[in-house]
Amino acid sequence: MKTLRASFYQKTRSKIAQTLPEGAVLILAGNSELERTRDVPYPFRQSNNFLYLTGVNQPEAYLVVAQDKEILYIKQLHPFMAAWEGRSNQIDELKKASGIENIQEYKKIDDILTDLGQITYLDMPDEESAQIAAWQLWQRIKEGYPDQELAAINPELDALRAVKAPEEVEMIEEAIKITDQLLQHVRPLLVPSVTERAIAAEFVRKASEQGIEQAWPPIVSFGKKSVVIHHTPDDTELSDGNLVLFDVGVEVQGYTSDISRMVQIGTMSDRQHEIHEAVKDVQAKAIQLMKPGIKFDEFERQAAEIVVYKLIELGIFESVDEATTLEGDLQWPAYRRYFNHMTSHYLGLDGHDVGARDAEFVPGMVLTCEPGIYVAEEGIGVRIEDDILITEDGNRNLSAGVVLDS
């Protein structure tokens, strides 16, 4: 499997250091292990920002960066950890992976807070529940050093992460390749009476066999369940005539794929075919819009307009006025009953990666294109999703080679 070299992380740290004012310090908290039950932690997943700057996938690590220094702090482990879990601090390996020469062990958080600089920049996520360690660091400094000036590094990191380096695109392409292999593996298992849960479990099992992590639990929907956007696989059995929706992704070095495909079991009904072809056509036209210069929100507006005309062609609405009439407590346009998500989102270290919704598309961005039409009253839901790299002269569909049989 492809991996990122230390030189990549050295470049990302250099770029973020250049955004810091003179005398400022960035302190970034890696994630901690979270307890699932007593003595049993949840599987560890590193903070995306920490992973982006270090490549280090170790709990309770901290990164300190200034214009003239960089230090990686790792928690001093109790000797019993080696006997109980086989864990020890492999400092030489961490140096090789991250490119950070100055790696120090610490016992308590105050060991790290020795030089806060004139301004201390921190990771301040939008949702407190998302990055507990980041918020705990912020709270510790506010309580222990109330006069310290604090600022968020997130705007600078978000801007850097939104435009992918060639090495990052390679990781996403590797994730796409593996996702394709997993889809091809489970496709022959789609036979009558198999359950959604069984297909999702085999997708995960095959990935785990190769040491591959899921970007999220696989979405596998049979028949009318496909009208639920993020359906959790259950004991629904596959029947002849069902459309099957896959929405899946895996991680490579933290970078994700995000692919949705439809599979027909047996022969499509005329109505299934109409809706499936409508979504394919919407996606093809939307991808043509994805090029440098168009603003994200303008792309979404034009893509939604394409969906509206398709819904009229399908006989769901009689006119644009009817489709765009505001309704309900949320005052959403009526067409949102049949297409109630956005057409695109950023892709990278997160399935829904960071990036501004009012930004212009620029070369190096990787975004999804995932129109869908969900007709609940007919029990038909179709979503097709690909991963699109914005290039100098337009775009490249990174997942165009992921082909099933519908």
Q: What is the CATH number of the domain that holds 155?
A: 3.40.350.10
What confidence tens digit (pLDDT) does each residue in 13-59 have?
999 999 999 999 999 999 998 888 888 888 889 999 999 999 999 99
What contacts 11, CB < 8 A, 6 or more positions away?
A: 165
Q: Are residues 121 and 184 in the same domain?
A: no
Asked whether the beta carbons of 190 and 238 are under 8 A apart, the reply is yes
Q: Are residues 220 and 367 in the same domain?
A: yes
What contacts 201, CB < 8 A, 6 or more positions away?
A: none
What is the model's pTM? 0.95
Final residue of a structural domain among 161, 194, 210 = 161
Q: Are residues 141 and 226 in the same domain?
A: no
pLDDT of 208: 97
Amino acid at 345: H
Q: Is the pLDDT of residue 333 over 60?
A: yes
**CA 163 – CA 180 distance, rounded (Å):** 24
Asked whether the beta carbons of 203 and 181 are under 8 A apart, the reply is no
pLDDT of 256: 98
Does 1 map to a domain? Answer: no
Does 126 map to a domain? Answer: yes
Q: Are residues 27 and 128 in the same domain?
A: yes
62 phi/psi in degrees, rounded to 5: -135, 140
Does 405 map to a domain? Answer: no
pLDDT of 80: 66
pLDDT of 85: 65
Distances (CA, A) of 224 to 18, 84, 313, 380: 52, 48, 22, 6
Does 62 map to a domain? Answer: yes
* Mean pLDDT for the stretch of residues 285-299: 98
374 phi/psi in degrees, rounded to 5: -125, 110
Asked whether the beta carbons of 290 and 395 are under 8 A apart, the reply is yes
pLDDT of 83: 60
**Pair of tokens at residue 289:** 């819009």
Does 406 map to a domain? Answer: no
Amino acid at 66: A
**CA 343 – CA 367 distance, rounded (Å):** 10
Q: Are residues 354 and 257 in the same domain?
A: yes
Bridge-based pairing state of the strands 119-122 and 149-152: parallel
Does 325 map to a domain? Answer: yes
CB atoms within 10 A of CB 272: 20
What's the Rg (C-alpha) of the chain?
24
Q: Are residues 147 and 286 in the same domain?
A: no
Does 225 map to a domain? Answer: yes
* CATH code (residue 308): 3.90.230.10
pLDDT of 131: 74
Final residue of a structural domain among 111, 144, 161 = 161
Q: What is the chain's mean pLDDT, rounded?
A: 94
Q: What residue numbers bound the domain in which 90 lies?
A: 6-161
**Pair of tokens at residue 389:** 């790299």
What confidence tens digit (pLDDT) does each residue in 114-169 have?
878 889 999 987 765 567 888 889 999 999 999 999 999 999 999 999 999 999 99
> H or E stretch including 9?
helix 6-18
Task: Express as a percent the part of the chain with pLDDT over 90.
Answer: 83
pLDDT of 132: 85
Q: Is the pLDDT of residue 266 over 70?
A: yes
Q: Are residues 58 and 180 in the same domain?
A: no
Task: Express as a percent the part of the chain with pLDDT over 70.
Answer: 96
Q: Are residues 176 and 111 in the same domain?
A: no
Q: Which residue has the higher pLDDT, 85 or 373?
A: 373
Does 276 map to a domain? Answer: yes
339 phi/psi in degrees, rounded to 5: -150, 85
Final residue of a structural domain among 137, 161, 185 = 161
Q: Are residues 171 and 213 in the same domain?
A: yes
Distances (CA, A) of 249 to 130, 258, 372: 20, 5, 18
pLDDT of 329: 87
Q: Is the pLDDT of residue 84 over 80?
A: no
Q: Are residues 177 and 143 in the same domain?
A: no
Q: Are residues 259 and 383 in the same domain?
A: yes
Inter-residue long-range contacts of 285-289, CB under 8 Å, 24+ positions, other chains counted: 286/343, 286/344, 286/369, 286/371, 287/369, 287/386, 287/388, 287/395, 287/397
Instruction: Please name which of 47, 15, 60, 12 lies closest in space to residue 123, comparing C-alpha atoms.
Output: 47
Residue-wise over 193-214: b if at least 16 C-beta within 10 A, else e?
ebbbebbbebbbeebeeeebeb
**CA 394 – CA 363 distance, rounded (Å):** 8
Instruction: Please name which of 173, 155, 176 lies closest in space to residue 164, comparing C-alpha atoms.
Output: 173
CB atoms within 10 A of CB 393: 8
Distances (CA, A) of 227 to 42, 59, 243, 374, 378: 31, 39, 11, 5, 9
* Mean pLDDT for the stretch of residues 283-291: 98
Q: Scanning the structure block, which residue is given the tokens 């920490």?
A: 50
Looking at the 3D structure of the chain, how many domains does it have? 2
Q: Are residues 237 and 129 in the same domain?
A: no
